Structure 1
Amino acid sequence: MRQHQGVPDAVRLLSVRKVHGKQRGVVALNGVTVGFGRGTFTAVMGPSGSGKSTLLHCAAGLDRPTSGSVLLGEQDLGGLSEIRLTTLRRDRIGFVFQAFNLLPALTVWQNVTLPLRLAGRKADRDTVTQVIDRVGLGDRHRHRPGELSGGQQQRVAIARALVTQPEVVFADEPTGALDTRAAREVLGLLREAKELAGQTIVMVTHDPVAAAYADRVLFLADGEVVGELLEPTADEVARRMTHLGAWADERPQDGPRLTGSVR
């Protein structure tokens, strides 16, 4: 699969296969090769059980593939010890999940700066202030999560993901627990991170409207990449997902694949 011409990959999976369980294991990813160009925003979609979250976890170094390689820039994650892998994730990768994963006893400021403290790095006050302001919580930095709405809590989680200035931000259903307005604000922040800071965003979602914020939508079925859309609209994504759902349910084992160019 080709990346955007002239754009190097921030993350690349090469023939990645992931099998869960040793006896009669379930194949979650079946030889996936795909790149995510630097400074791009990709949404990953597919039917339930298609391998979306497994792809995200392997790409982010949260899970090791059964075979194949994952590269973050030029670094092959496969040869790293758990300690080195943890350090790399902490320094070069940001995470946003559907569950906000904030510590309830800490303030907004303390939650945002937690990754820096865990890394033994001193938080630069100006940088932290700028990140919190960017997510629209400049007047709430002394508040605790319980004093914030769900949308505000997810914005804290995004600020926490961005404060280390990571190369790649992985987001797993980041709007799944939010109402329409809050979801739109969160997606706008992710797109802003791509456009203003040049960060690479990889987002798993089931929502065609959310996917339309991305530059590209990557479709998975049965652990394989089966198509993509560039510059997607919500209607185009919904139509493809409808087709893909029927295709995934009804095709024979060796039947035809969904057509579409893939990089």
Structure 2
Amino acid sequence: MGDNNVVRLDSVSKSYGRLVAIDDLSIGFARGTFTAVMGPSGSGKSTFLHCAAGLDRPTSGRVVLDGVEVDALDEKARTVLRRERVGFVFQAFNLLPALTVVENVALPLRLAGRAPRREEVMAALERVGLADRARHRPAELSGGQQQRVAIARALIARPAVVFGDEPTGALDTRTALEVLALLRAVVDRDGGTAVMVTHDPVAAAHADRVVFLADGRIAGELAAPTAAAVAERMTHLGAWERVR
């Protein structure tokens, strides 16, 4: 798996008691690519994302993130690694309601002990089309606007990789397309890397490739995906899982 991988999982397994959530999984995510991860409910998508992003320790195997072996770090060093190298976009936005838009976007820099420059925060908001909402609080924004703030926050520290956990799950179709276009720009404009867990074939079709999980293992990939091809593969995966 060449050296161009920003994130690499080598033989990663994760168990919770007797439940095996991911099972001997090896995969790499190259710099400048957008990957969607899909699978039936219970296939291990969230566990995979948490292990790849350094949020959770695998039971066995190795995770390398931007050249750093995550499992070799203590909790404090892992927190620093995530803060500096990883951006997160969640379905629930996870903005702090008491903070303004500007303060929410600046938060990762403050947590890292950096004094945010107003121009860099405003540039991040400009990029997601919300510079005019800088002084608003999350409750004053639509769901789509809140997710765009979350993307600006994810990008402010210039991370090596942005992970999305169902980032369009709570949005209407038009707003979801705007958010997906922003994630595509991370890759196409910045040469960044995006990895997104999704259940939506239309969202997945914005990626360069789709990786399918079933029973905690990789059950296939699709390059240059279309929504129809993804939907068909997911139908077969569901059937495959029931047969097994």
Aligned match for 2:119, one of 109, 126, 133: 126
The Cα of 1:132 is off from its aligned counterpart by: 0.3
Does residue 149 (structure 1) correspond to residue 142 (structure 2)? The answer is yes
Cα distance in 1 between the residues matched to 2:215 and 2:82: 28
In the other structure, the counterpart of 1:20 is 16
SS at match of 1:34: strand
Does residue 77 (structure 1) correspond to residue 70 (structure 2)? The answer is yes
SS at match of 2:132: coil
TM-score by length of 2: 0.98
Deviation per residue, 1:75-126 (Å, 9 max, x gap): 1111100000000000110000001111111110000001111111011222
Deviation per residue, 1:33-91 (Å, 9 max, x gap): 00000111000000000011111000000000000000012211111000000000001
The Cα of 1:237 is off from its aligned counterpart by: 0.2
Does residue 223 (structure 1) correspond to residue 216 (structure 2)? The answer is yes
The Cα of 1:199 is off from its aligned counterpart by: 1.1
Unpaired stretches in structure 1, ≥5 consecutive residues: 252-263
The Cα of 1:157 is off from its aligned counterpart by: 0.5
TM-score by length of 1: 0.91
In the other structure, the counterpart of 1:161 is 154
Does residue 29 (structure 1) correspond to residue 25 (structure 2)? The answer is no
Deviates more, 1:123-132 or 1:38-47: 123-132
In the other structure, the counterpart of 1:255 is none
Q: How many equivalent pairs are there?
A: 244
Letter in 2 for 1:105: A
Unpaired stretches in structure 2, ≥5 consecutive residues: none
Query: Which segments of structure 1 move beyond 3 Å, counting only runs of 4 or more?
Result: none
In the other structure, the counterpart of 2:90 is 97
Does residue 56 (structure 1) correspond to residue 49 (structure 2)? The answer is yes
Cα distance in 1 between the residues matched to 2:67 and 2:84: 15
Cα distance in 2 between the residues matched to 1:64 and 1:166: 20
Aligned CA RMSD, in angstroms, stands at 0.9
Letter in 2 for 1:19: S
Does residue 67 (structure 1) correspond to residue 60 (structure 2)? The answer is yes
Cα distance in 1 between the residues matched to 2:90 and 2:214: 22
The Cα of 1:213 is off from its aligned counterpart by: 0.5
SS at match of 1:132: helix
The Cα of 1:186 is off from its aligned counterpart by: 0.5
Letter in 2 for 1:97: F
Letter in 1 for 2:68: Q
Q: What aligned pairs does 1:158-237 form with structure 2 within 5 A after superposition?
A: 158-237=151-230
In the other structure, the counterpart of 1:260 is none
The Cα of 1:130 is off from its aligned counterpart by: 1.2
Letter in 1 for 2:164: A
In the other structure, the counterpart of 1:11 is 7
The Cα of 1:234 is off from its aligned counterpart by: 0.3
SS at match of 2:221: strand
SS at match of 1:228: strand
Cα distance in 1 between the residues matched to 2:37 and 2:13: 17
